[in-house]
Amino acid sequence: MAGRNARFPDFKTVQSHAYFAEIDWNDLRSKDPPFVPELDSETDAGYFDDFSNEADMAKYKEVHDKQAALEGMAERGEKMNKSAFLGFTFK
């Protein structure tokens, strides 16, 4: 398993990764963003979770548990089990 020390060395390497293959980096700034937040003021933080709210933090319990398990495996040098990513989504 690659650790925290095996990160991409530079931005060009990130750009060339297969995950970003469909992105045209040359005219990226001229494209309309897929989402533009509607803010009430310059200090509006409504799109962020309230980390002092127990109900908001409960949504992350499973994520925190999986992170702790992955970190524990990395510390022991175990190979990562694919089941650690069951139910994982990225939006």
pLDDT digits (tens, 9 = 90+) for 27-65: 999 999 989 999 999 999 888 888 888 887 888 888 888
Residues ≥6 apart with Cβ < 8 Å to 73: 1, 79, 80, 81, 84
pTM over 0.75: no
Instruction: Tell me which residue of 65, 54, 58 sits closest to 87, measured CA to CA.
Output: 65
pLDDT in tens, 4-36: 777 889 999 999 999 999 999 999 999 999 899
Distance CA 70, CA 78 (A): 9
